[in-house]
Each structure stands twice: as C-alpha cells, then as structure tokens.
Amino acid sequence: MLIAVDASGGDYAPQEIVKGAAAAASEYNVPIALLGNKKILTMLAGKYEKKTNLSIIHAPQTIACDEQPVQALKAKPRSSIVIGVGMVKEGKASAFISAGSTGAVLASSYMMLGKLTNIQRPALATVIAVNPEHPFILIDAGANADCIPAYLAQFALMGSVFAAEHLNIEKPRVALLNNGSEEGKGNRLTRESHQAIKLTPGINFTGNIEPQDLLANHADVVVTDGFTGNIVLKTLEGFGENFGKNVGWQQSHHIPHELQGSALVNYAKVLFLTKRADYKEFGGACLLGLDGNIVVAHGRSKAKAVKSAIHLAVRAVELDMVSSIKQAMLKIAQNTAQE
C-alpha cells in the first residue's frame, strides 16, 4: 500500500500536511508519498524523526481554489492533483488525499478514474461524529449540487455499503434528510427521492430524518443532495467554531484548576464536544462510486485533520471499498434482471 498525499493543497500547506502525513505514516505504519515542491518537502519531511515511511514526488504546479477546475487541470498537468489521481489510476498509489481545490480533485477523478457500473454520479461520504457515541455517514457531503432522485438512491446504496464496512454496522439504518418526517413532506427532490430510495433493494431504508435528529442516533447513513449536505456540514462547523470562540477554548484547551467534581466532568465534556464540531477534527470525505480511492480533506485542515483523512483512506483501501460497492451494484443489477 502507498498513500499519495497532496502536500500543496489546502490553507496550511505544505507544513501542516507534512506534519499530519508524518504522524499518519508513523502511527498507521503506512508508506506515504508527498506530492509537491521536492525541495521544500525534502526540507520539511527531514524534520520528522520517523521519516522512513515518507517519500517525495515532485509536482511543481499548484491549482488554486478559485481556478476553474477543468481548465486548471488541462493547464497544469504537473500539478499535485493531476499527478496524485494519475498514480491511483495507474495503480502506483492505493489512494490519493487532497485538501486542495475540491472542484479540481472531483473533476480530475471523474475524468481519469472510471465510474463504477450503474453509478451515475460519484458522491462524497463523510463520517460525522459530533455526537461521539453515535457517528453517522453523510452522503453526499458536497460533490453534486444539483441532483435527481436516481442519484440519491445510488448515494443511499453506496452510503449503506460504506457504513456497513467502515462503521462495522450489520444493517445500517439509511434515512433521507428532509424538513419533515412524514413521507409526503419536503421539496420536490426529497419527495421523489423518498420513493426512489424505497424502491431500491438491499438497503434498510427507515424513511425521512429531520436535521434536529441528526445527532440523536436515528440513522447510520443520512442521504441528501450535495448542496444540502454541504450546507449541513458547514452549519455544524460554524456552530462549533462560534461556540469555541465564544467560550475562549479554541485558544486555551486547558481545564482550569478551580473546577471540581461534576463541574469538572461537564467542563471536559464541553471541551470534547466543541472540539468534535471543529472542522479541524473532521476526517475528510471519501469519494465513492469511482474505480479508485480518493479522499477530500477540508481546505482548512491542520495536521490532525490531515492525519484523520489519511486514516480514512487507509480504511477504504484495507476494506476494499471499491470492490464492495461494485459488488453491491452488481447484486442489484442481477436482482433487477431476474424480475
């Protein structure tokens, strides 16, 4: 296994990316290739003791977040994103992780890696563990802003496979994010998607879930279009950030000595929950539905988030997520053919 990591993408690249990659290489005992400016990366990687697992691949071009993705990919064939996705395509890397332009990562992945049979649109799946006792998968977290019901039915299936494998849940409860719990509620897309998901075999569909119940252990997989999913994700992030800022814990992260007994326990809990909602702690999102493992990390990822994203990629490789999704789609195709 070799994990390719984009060391030039993201707000805190390359320092925090290299730091996170070094920690992951050591902790998960996995070889990592850092993609970016060789000179700078060599210097940065040299700082870390256990650097034996780190290699460097020269990628002199960087795609900025405000560049038009498809044009940028054509103009910059030696960018870390093009090289990284190419390594996955050619089997030189088992997975590629980037905190750079999500648009460019998605576009290059769509263009270079094939879509799996019966998947019309790949989707981003992320684990939300704000409530640490009850993590759940959100799919699509932001790949497809405009969707049709058939896409959401495919997201439901991919999310179910992901939850079964990654969260180790036997029959994951799959729910559709909606603004009402009853079947007829919602906008046109959710009303029609409800029916489409209901008709999809092989998933344990439990109906609609309202956002106020997201953290209340009502579902293992929450299906939504990429626009709404991204809005929910960013709303949670903003809340965590604001909360942390207001109570001044983002800076300090220490427990004052005046605290005793239950107050101490509560204080620690708040600290933990605030950190959980912090984007810097999110572990990135898996792009599902393509013939290759791609993980998109938050643009503002610091070392800890980079490490988490690498962990997610390692899991996807170990669990062979691509084959699992392929098999699930094949099973459905066979079922449908038999009908």
Contact between 266 and a copy of itself (CB under 8 A)?
yes
Minimum CB separation from a copy of itself for residue 309, in Å? Answer: 18
Contact between 212 and a copy of itself (CB under 8 A)?
yes
Nearest CA-CA partner of 240 in 200, 274, 189:
274
Of positions 111, 129, 231, 319, contacts a copy of itself by CB under 8 A: 231
Q: What stretches of the chain adopt beta strand conformation (E)?
A: 3-6, 32-36, 54-58, 95-98, 123-128, 136-139, 173-177, 204-209, 221-223, 285-288, 293-296
Task: Please list, in sequence order, all residues whose beta carbon lies within 8 angstroms of the beta carbon of residue 186, skipping any fewer than 6 positions away.
Answer: 178, 179, 180, 194, 208
Minimum CB separation from a copy of itself for residue 118, in Å? Answer: 24
Query: Which span (17-25, 47-55, 84-92, 248-256) binds a copy of itself, by CB under 8 A?
Result: 248-256
2 or 70: whose CB is closer to a copy of itself? 70
For the beta sheet containing 285-288, the strands, ordered from the edge strand earlier in sequence to the opposite edge, are 54-58, 32-36, 3-6, 95-98, 293-296, 285-288, 123-128, 136-139, 221-223, 173-177, 204-209
Contact between 160 and a copy of itself (CB under 8 A)?
no
Q: Omega into 225 within 30° of 0, i.e. cis?
A: no
Of positions 39, 46, 146, 335, contacts a copy of itself by CB under 8 A: 146
Site for a copy of itself in 171-210 (CB under 8 A): 177, 179, 182, 186-188, 190, 210
Size of the site for a copy of itself (CB under 8 A): 54
Contact between 246 and a copy of itself (CB under 8 A)?
yes
Minimum CB separation from a copy of itself for residue 286, in Å? Answer: 19
53 or 190: whose CB is closer to a copy of itself? 190
Minimum CB separation from a copy of itself for residue 288, in Å? Answer: 19
Minimum CB separation from a copy of itself for residue 244, in Å? Answer: 10
CA 90/CA 92 separation, integer angstroms: 5
Contact between 241 and a copy of itself (CB under 8 A)?
yes
CB 76 within 8 A of CB 9: no
Token reading at 93: 């890397």
Of positions 77, 114, 201, 238, contacts a copy of itself by CB under 8 A: 238
Query: Which span (21-29, 164-172, 256-264, 318-326) binds a copy of itself, by CB under 8 A?
Result: 256-264
First to last CA, the chain: 41
260 or 338: whose CB is closer to a copy of itself? 260
CB 47 within 8 A of CB 36: no
- The whole-angstrom distance between residue 214's C-alpha and the CA centroid of its chain comes to 17
For tokens 């925090």, the residue is: 16
Token reading at 67: 């560049």
179 or 334: whose CB is closer to a copy of itself? 179
CA 124/CA 297 separation, integer angstroms: 11
Nearest CA-CA partner of 108 in 69, 64, 158:
69
Of positions 196, 202, 227, 319, contacts a copy of itself by CB under 8 A: 227
One-character DSSP codes across 53-71: TEEEEE--B---TTS-HHH
Site for a copy of itself in 37-76 (CB under 8 A): 66
Query: Which span (19-27, 88-96, 119-127, 138-146) binds a copy of itself, by CB under 8 A?
Result: 138-146
Contact between 237 and a copy of itself (CB under 8 A)?
yes
Binding site for a copy of itself (CB under 8 A): 66, 130-131, 142, 145-146, 177, 179, 182, 186-188, 190, 210-216, 225, 227-228, 230-232, 234-239, 241-243, 246-249, 256, 258-264, 266-267, 269-270, 273, 277, 279
